[in-house]
Structures are given as structure tokens and as C-alpha cells.
A and B are shown apart, each in its own frame.
Chain A
Amino acid sequence: MRLEIKDLHVHYGKIEAIKGISIVVNEGEIVTLIGANGAGKTTMLKTISGLRPATSGQIIFNGEDITGVPAHKRVDLGLSQAPEGRGIFPGMTVLENLEMGKFHRHDRKKEMAEDLDKVYTLFPRLKERISQAGGTLSGGEQQMLAIGRALMARPKVLLLDEPSMGLAPQMIANIFRIITEINKTGVTILLVEQNAQQALQRAHRAYILETGNVVKEAKASDLLNDPAVREAYLGTGAH
């Protein structure tokens, strides 16, 4: 279940946001894309999940070219995204949100109960909030809901867009611990993050993006110790 992006170009109007990026995510890995605001991280994820069209290049998933496949069909293939800014349905309850995550596999009633259980095991907090409207949850809970909802689709590859955004440090650590847990159940993860410290600690490999280009690719642990990376993305003195 390999995800391969080949020479991807994406435009917003005339502006080229992604300028020929190639990345590979192997089965079972956590791969992270880190970089500053405007580097093209979110655009990469949106193009991979199908919300944005690619100008050129290829997205190959499980040996199949899915570049032209619409977003709602990529979910069937096993590609699931927890959107940026959490993107949950604010007017639906936690349970309804999770049920929406299974919209495309609605006929499998037994799966629903099983997967709800799995999500509640990962995020006990969601079970406590089961009948609460999504919009009334705290930021961390909304992030949990977004991830839980994406898991309901039984993804093979999970795309996470800035899961740490706007969260308290303790909640960030908690979310990243759960991401590792999800990965251990066999879900491949592509993680987009500004919080390079946490992302590099959890990921196997990393790509550094700058203004639409990959400027560096390496094992995550190597990047953690790379002085140049430390200076640019981790803050020199810290840790």
C-alpha cells in the first residue's frame, strides 16, 4: 500500500503552489511534511485527497494512478483525510460525525459498531461526548473527532493536516501519542505539521518543504540532529 507522488505541480490561478514535488510513503510508515506557512504543505494534502486538482504530475496509490479520481472515490480506495482546521460538522453530534465517516460503507452495519468501539477506545473522551454537537467541543476534542471520523472509513493511508494546530502542549503530546498508536495498528500515515519537533520525533521519514519545493528528505531522527534543520525549524537553543 504505497503512496507515490511524482513530479506534482499545483496552481491556484496563475500562482504555482507546488512546483514539481515527488514523495514516497511506504506501507506502515509515518512520513511527515514539515515547513513554514505557505510552503505548500496543505496544498499537497488537498491534492492527494482530491480536493484540489493537480496541474500535472501523478499520484500513484497501490500501483494505481489516481490523479484523476474524484475525492469521494479516493475514500473507497483507502485514502482518508482529517482536514485542516479540524473540518468537522459543527451541527452534527459526535456520533453523527463519526457515522458520516462511514457514509460510503453505509451498508455494513456490523462494521459500524466495531469501528465506533475502536474509535472510542482510542479516544475515550469522544464516548463521553457522544451526543454533544461537534461545534461545542474543545479544540482538542474536535481534532480527536476529525481523526476518529477519518478512521471510521478504515483507511489504509491516513492524511493528517496540522493536527497540533491551536492546541495546548499537553493535548499536542496526547494527539501525537495516539497517532503513533494508530500507526501501530497498520495504518500508514502522511502527516503535515508546523510543529516540527513533535512530528520528527514520531515520524520515520520526513520531507522539508519550502515554497513549493522539497529541499530535504531524510530519516526523521537524522533531521532532529541536523544543525541546519534545528536552526530553521526547531529553534536553535531549544531541546
Chain B
Amino acid sequence: MKNFNLRDFGAGIWERSNRYQRVAIVLVTITLAALLPFAGASFLATPVAAYDAVLVYPVAIFVLMSLGLNIVVGKSGMLDLGYVAFFAIGAYTNGLLSMHTGLNTWEIMPIGIGAAMFAGVLLGIPTLRLRGDYLAIVTLGFGEIIRIVALNVSWTNGPNGISGIQMPPPILGKEFALDDQKLFFWVVLVMILLTIWMIRRLTVRRPGRAWEAIRQDEDAAELMGVPTLKYKIWSFTLGAAIGGAAGVLYAAKNLFISPEMFTLNVSILILACVVFGGIGNIWGVILGGAILGYLPDRIRFISDARLLVFGLVLVVVMNFRPDGLLPRKKREKALVKKGASA
């Protein structure tokens, strides 16, 4: 199967479909995704950990974060090694507001997203003038700063973390429960769908073209009249918003947060999801987040060797598919269809 290319195969089906077929494809895909929590008895089952809980975290939340980080790293080409910061800010916003106010998860959600975006702008304005390695180091530092602040100040309870976070209120009369997390999975799924919708709308419009130009040649983009700093801050802030949303959801799912959950490892792991799946391609990134979120729990039966196998899978796959499982189209090397645009 040397010439088989899953991305082009999928894109081919999509392009040959008419409007109604496309609606059908989307509906079937969403339905299948929504039915995932019922597949717990199949080969997908996770030993040790509860299957429906694994689907929420890590799987769905990793997918959500990978989509967010992909806007920054994949779409506009900025290496962000401190993505965990926004996840932590979202989670702590939920924790703190849950502790001190009567607000519920859905009321906290916009505040958490806003806080993460605010942090994104605050960090972005001075640092996004930097490029490449420099930006990577500054963001890496920022991620650590947030964690260390959470560890050392008293109002976050320091290393003890925040417990007793409120469960989200019922949706349409259905209660959230610890032993049945289907409802939670669907909530995260809706967030993922909204994110995909937003990214797809943006990428075919001006911001998408500006990001693409910045990624390919930042100086040339500036010479074309693209306000590069503005679009980079936008990209960074949108990524932050999605990280913040994921953090709010994570805190509501876990009901307890502490600084040790927000280490550099999380940033690296999410970046690995993006690269593993196919940097720049949202379907690849979703696949990457889902697989790397799911795999460690699926192979939990080999307990000690688990991380070794996980690492091996990463190394082997990246060797055979250096651009990820579903790479973005590389047009530098290929002829494209006539009249294609954006």
C-alpha cells in the first residue's frame, strides 16, 4: 500500500460528495463520536481505569488542547512550550471561584476563558516579537512561573491544591455523576465541535491567510501589509482561550486540582499529540490527541513497561511518518489543482 495516503483518501471522499452527502458524513461522524462512551465492553475497553472517565480525561480534553495548541504551533508557526499555563489558569479559575463564590461550572467557563485570554495577551505583547527558539524558551518559562506561583502563594492553597470543586449543574435534567461520565464526555465533545467549527471558519478567511503567510515567511508577510504582531497575538490568545476552557472542564471533572498536575510534561505531551497526529492538520491533531490520550490507559495492564511502550510507539511512528499520522498538505513539493485558493 505504498501509494495509499489516508489524508488524500479522506479529502477525496469529501470533495466528491455533494452538499447532502457532506451533511450526512458530518452527522454520522458526530454520532459515532457521541456513541464512543457505549463502546466500553469492546476491544476499546481500558483495564484498571474506568473507560468513560478515560474518554473524558485524557482523551477528549487532550483532543481539545491539541486543537488549541495547533492554532499557535501548526497554523501560525510559533513554538509554544508553555501551553500548560493556560490550562492551569482555566483550572485554577474554576477552583478558586468554586471555592469562594456560588458560581457553577458554566458560569465560570467564560471567566476562565477570559482569564486565559488575558494572560495570553499579557504574555504575547512583549514576547511575540521574538521568534523560534527564543519564543519557545520564554513560553516555557511562563508555564513554569504559573505552576510555581500556584505552588507558593497561600490563596491557591499551595501544594495542597484546591479540593471540593463543585460538580457542574445538571443539563436538561440529567445529573453529572462520578460513576457515569457519559454526560461529561458529551459536554467536552460539544466544546471540541465548536472549536473545530471556529478554526475552520477562521482558516478560510483573512486570519487564516495571515497566519499561513506568517508561518511561511514572517518578513514577507509584513511586507504584504499583514500586521504580523497583531495576528500572532490573536493566534496565541485563541490558543490560550481553548487551553483555558480545557482547564475549567478538567477541574470540574477532577473536582480537585494541585500544582503538580500542571508541569512542563503536560505542555510537552500536548505538543507531542500535535506533532504525532500531523502538525497543522486539524484531523491529524484530533487523531494524535485521541491516540496519545488513550494509549497509556489502554496498555495499563503492562504497568511498569507502560511508559516504555508509549515512548517506543512515539519513536517508531515518528520515524516512519516524520510529518505525523495525517500530515498537512505539503505544497512546496506538489502540484495542486488549478484555481485552488486560500
List the interface of chain A (C-beta within 8 A of B).
Answer: 49-51, 70-73, 75-76, 80-81, 83, 87-93, 95-96, 99-101, 103-106, 130-133, 135-136, 149-150, 153
Contacts and interface: CB of A to CB of B under 8 A. Distances in A.
28 contacts: A49-B223, A51-B222, A70-B227, A71-B223, A73-B225, A76-B225, A81-B223, A87-B219, A87-B220, A89-B213, A90-B217, A90-B332, A92-B216, A92-B331, A93-B331, A96-B340, A100-B209, A101-B224, A103-B206, A103-B209, A104-B225, A104-B226, A131-B335, A131-B336, A131-B337, A131-B338, A133-B331, A135-B331
B335 A132 contact: yes
A133 B217 contact: no
Interface in B202-246: 206, 209-210, 212-213, 216-217, 219-228
Interface in B323-340: 330-340
Given A72-B226, A153-B225, A130 B219 contact: no
Nearest to B338: A131
A138 B227 CA distance: 29
Given A83-B219, A91-B216, A103-B210, A136 B224 contact: no
Pick from A50, A75, A100, A133 the residue with the most CB of B within 10 Å.
A100
B225 A91 contact: no
A136 B332 contact: yes
A99 B227 CA distance: 16
Contact of B224 (A51, A104, A131): A104
Given A70-B227, A81-B223, A149-B224, A90 B216 contact: yes
Nearest to B216: A89
Contact of A80 (B206, B223, B226): B223
Contacts of A83: 219-220, 223
Interface residues of B, number: 30
A72 B222 contact: yes
A90 B341 CA distance: 14
Contacts of B227: 70, 72
